[in-house]
């Protein structure tokens, strides 16, 4: 696989974290929609009373085992359209050649089938165990491999195709190591933008998984009018009787991951106890992403409830009070912080932002791998980012690693720990 060197001539538009403005980005995203099988882009904002823009894209040709309706969010209709379109590119280009009904072109990275022991004789290879595998595995098993690029070590590395493609079925006599997901799958105007988005998503899922496993989000963010647009977005929720708890999750990098946990106190609908999450070097963007994703989650639940009657029946049987009680750590009080308390690590270009993320990750991991899924025939680049050892418990409960188990936990008083009480005779 060719060396990935971030283009240092690219810079953000002044006052933004974008290489192109919204109009140019929208035009670029529209350009390739037919080529990836998208047949419809629709606004679904009006399904909810909040009025925060949410759009969906429909791709009927999606591979078996993948979803065909994608959604996107933003503070403007253009942002929400772009977000939904970008997810379409991610999902389409994550499908392998042959399974993909829209794109015949293959990715540039070479593939091979062999054992870990054999492939590691030819160069660096990622140990399958580092991917938190849930299935039985032997180093003698046949595995399908793809070449990726390690951004930290600056060399090629073979990674299991199981960690790259989605959906994935192991070919022939090869083993399937785990169920696939979309963690680290990202699109962008340029390759550098896609890589940064993928890095941030992997960090977000790691932080969220650790907080969920330990039931401890730690710090509650309080927004005020001084926080501008984010406060205005928050008001969209609160003035419509939707309570929001904003959390700054604990993590061993300084990159902020924010969660917005919502509760519709008007409807008290268990299906609307939803969250949104976002990571970014710039705290205000991370908060904005969490809030708008929470709005997106509400609309998706409302839309899905009309079609998924079995799920609707399931959440109704559990009930609002029980679901909220099961997830009460998202709705309890936390140590209060302001947006101004969160350090802004953002720079003026994608390459500088990638450098900052790699500097943070380099303190805790040995490898940060990118597999380029882009095709020359498709105008939007897509990558898969893999950080070995990082958690994805929030996506797959069977894949739990050491990081989540070692994560921060709430310090409890003696009264909160009845199992520690001694019975005196």
Q: Of 83, 104, 125, which residue sits at a domain end?
A: 104
Going residue by residue through the chain, which has 425 residues, state the pLDDT in tens, using 9 for 90 and above: 678 999 999 999 999 999 999 999 999 999 999 999 999 999 999 999 999 999 999 999 999 999 999 999 999 999 999 999 999 999 999 999 999 999 999 999 999 999 999 999 999 999 999 999 987 889 899 999 999 999 999 999 999 999 999 999 999 999 999 999 999 999 999 999 999 999 999 999 999 999 999 999 999 999 999 999 999 999 999 999 999 999 999 999 999 999 999 999 999 999 999 999 999 999 999 999 999 999 999 999 998 754 555 666 788 789 999 999 999 999 999 999 999 999 999 999 999 999 999 999 999 999 999 999 999 999 999 999 999 999 999 999 999 999 999 999 987 666 655 444 444 44
Total structural domains within the chain? 2
**What domain range is 258 assigned to?**
209-341
Q: Of 104, 128, 155, which residue sits at a domain end?
A: 104
Over its C-alpha atoms, the chain yields an Rg (Å, rounded) of 22
Helix (H, G, I), strand (E, B) or coil at 15: coil
How many angstroms separate the first and last alpha carbons of the chain? Answer: 70
Question: What are the tokens at 86?
Answer: 């970008």
Residue 42 within a domain: yes
What does the pLDDT read at residue 422? 47
Q: Domain holding 276: CATH number?
A: 3.30.160.660
Q: Helices 283-305 and 229-238 meet at what angle, rounded to 10?
A: 30
Residue 305 within a domain: yes
Residue 388 within a domain: no
* CA neighbor of 219 nearest in space, from 125, 117, 313, 343: 343
> Taking a C-beta distance cutoff of 8 angstroms, is the pair 341, 225 a contact?
no
What does the pLDDT read at residue 425? 42
CA of residue 185 relative to chain centroid, distance: 8
Q: Domain holding 96: CATH number?
A: 3.30.160
What does the pLDDT read at residue 318? 92
What does the pLDDT read at residue 163? 98
pTM attached to this predicted model: 0.95
Residue 181 within a domain: no
Residue 392 within a domain: no
In sequence order, the 6+-apart residues with CB closer than 8 A to the CB of 185 are 90, 91, 94, 166, 198, 201, 373, 382, 383, 384
Q: Of 321, 341, 361, which residue sits at a domain end?
A: 341
Question: What are the tokens at 210?
Answer: 């650790």
Strand segments (E) across 81-142: 111-114
DSSP-derived secondary structure for 292-345 = HHHHHHHHHHHHHHTT-HHHHHHHHHH-HHHHHHHTGGGTS--EEEEGGGS---
Residue 45 within a domain: yes
Phi, psi of 128 (to 5 degrees): -55, -35
What does the pLDDT read at residue 413? 61
> Taking a C-beta distance cutoff of 8 angstroms, is the pair 126, 159 a contact?
yes
Number of H helices, E strands in the chain: 10, 14
Residue 8 within a domain: no
Residue 316 within a domain: yes
Taking the C-alpha atoms of residue 406 and residue 396, their distance in angstroms, rounded to an integer, is: 18
What does the pLDDT read at residue 303? 85
């Amino acid at each position: 696989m060719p060396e990935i060197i971030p283009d240092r001539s690219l810079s953000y538009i002044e006052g933004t974290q974008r290489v192109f403005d919204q109009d140019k980005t929208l035009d670029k995203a529209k350009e390739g929609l037919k080529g990836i099988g998208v047949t419809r882009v629709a606004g679904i904002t009006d399904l909810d009373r909040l009025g925060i823009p949410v759009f969906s894209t429909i791709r009927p040709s999606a591979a078996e085992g993948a979803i065909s309706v994608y959604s996107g969010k933003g503070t403007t209709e253009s942002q929400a359209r772009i977000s939904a379109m970008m997810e379409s590119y991610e999902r389409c280009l994550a499908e392998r050649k042959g399974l993909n009904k829209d794109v015949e072109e293959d990715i540039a990275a070479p593939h091979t089938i062999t054992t870990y022991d054999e492939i590691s004789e030819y160069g660096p290879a990622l140990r399958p165990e580092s991917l938190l595998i849930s299935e039985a595995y032997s180093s003698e098993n046949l595995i399908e491999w793809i070449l990726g690029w390690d951004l930290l070590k600056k060399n090629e590395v073979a990674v299991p195709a199981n960690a790259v493609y989605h959906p994935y079925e192991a070919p022939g006599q090869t083993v399937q190591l785990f169920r696939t997901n979309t963690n680290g799958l990202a699109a962008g105007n340029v390759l550098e933008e896609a890589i940064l988005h993928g890095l941030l998503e992997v960090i977000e899922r790691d932080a969220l998984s650790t907080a969920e496993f330990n039931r401890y989000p730690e710090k509650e963010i309080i927004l005020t009018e001084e926080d501008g647009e984010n406060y205005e977005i928050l008001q969209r929720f609160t003035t419509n009787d939707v309570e929001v708890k904003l959390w700054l999750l604990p993590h061993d990098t300084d990159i902020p991951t924010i969660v917005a946990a919502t509760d519709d106190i008007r409807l008290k609908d268990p299906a609307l106890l939803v969250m949104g999450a976002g990571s970014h070097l710039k705290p205000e963007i991370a908060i904005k992403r969490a809030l708008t994703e929470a709005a997106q989650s509400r609309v998706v639940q409302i839309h899905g409830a009309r079609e998924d009657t079995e799920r609707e029946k399931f959440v109704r049987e559990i009930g609002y009070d029980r679901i909220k009680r099961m997830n009460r750590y998202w709705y309890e009080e936390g140590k209060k912080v302001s947006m101004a308390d969160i350090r802004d690590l953002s720079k003026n270009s994608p390459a500088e932002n990638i450098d900052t993320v790699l500097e943070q990750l380099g303190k805790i991991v040995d490898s940060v791998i990118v597999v380029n899924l882009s095709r020359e025939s498709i105008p939007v680049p897509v990558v898969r980012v893999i950080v070995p050892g990082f958690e994805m418990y929030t996506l797959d409960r069977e894949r739990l690693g050491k990081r989540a188990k070692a994560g921060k936990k709430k310090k409890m008083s003696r009264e909160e720990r009845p199992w520690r009480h001694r019975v005196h005779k």
